Amino acid sequence: MKIVTKEIEKEIIKFARIVLTCKIKECNPGASIPLLKFESEDYIHSVFVTLKKDDKLRGCIGRLNFVGHFEIALEECIIDACNNDYRFKPVEPEEVDDIKIEISLLSKPEILLDTYKFDLGKHGIIVEYENKRGIYLPEVPIEQNWNMAELCYNVSKKAEIIKLSEIHKSKYYKFETQKIIEE
């Protein structure tokens, strides 16, 4: 699935690296970042930023169905992945050069009428019940060696949807991603 061209991918990853360097390494939260040179409001509505160090997860935060400018959502995701992923301590300035950035642009989610009608590794999954929501990108079940039932269980658990009555009333969605990986 292609959301943006290779040229725009390069612009996005360059922008992400500038944000990471200016906001974390140089410790300048008020730094002005040059805007991207394309209009994204019409076709990018959800984005996730994954940070890896030595091929290990170091942070991952996303925005689903954001309203407004892509650059703002992307910048917020980068900063939050560095500082606000509860699974990790904040990224230290001296780590920035060792961190690789992966950006996932998400397609518009499609509701799943049958919870198991999606392809592991191709589709990510979202579960929602009232104000609770959990999401896994397409690569997560492959990395974790989960089958569909394990993925559905784990995404519900992540969303803190644990009561059987909540699970039965939950809505499940599938989506695809275009992954942009820093070289």
- The pLDDT assigned to 29 comes to 61
Segments of the chain assigned to CATH 3.30.1490.150: 110-176
Please spell the DSSP secondary structure of the chain, one letter per residue. --SS-HHHHHHHHHHHHHHHIIIIIS--TT---PPPSS--TTT---EEEEEEETTEEEEEEEESS--S-HHHHHHHHHHHHHH--TTSPPPPGGGGGGEEEEEEEEPPPEE-SSTT-S-BTTBEEEEEETTEEEEE-THHHHHHT--HHHHHHHHHHHTT--SHHHHHH-EEEEE-EEEEE--
Segments of the chain assigned to CATH 3.30.700.20: 6-106
Q: What is the CATH superfamily name and number for domain 110-176?
A: Hypothetical protein ph0010; domain 2 (3.30.1490.150)
Q: What is the pTM of this model?
A: 0.89
Per-10-residue mean pLDDT of the chain, 183 residues long, equals 88 92 76 66 81 96 88 93 95 96 94 88 96 96 94 95 91 95 93
CATH class of segment(s) 6-106? alpha beta
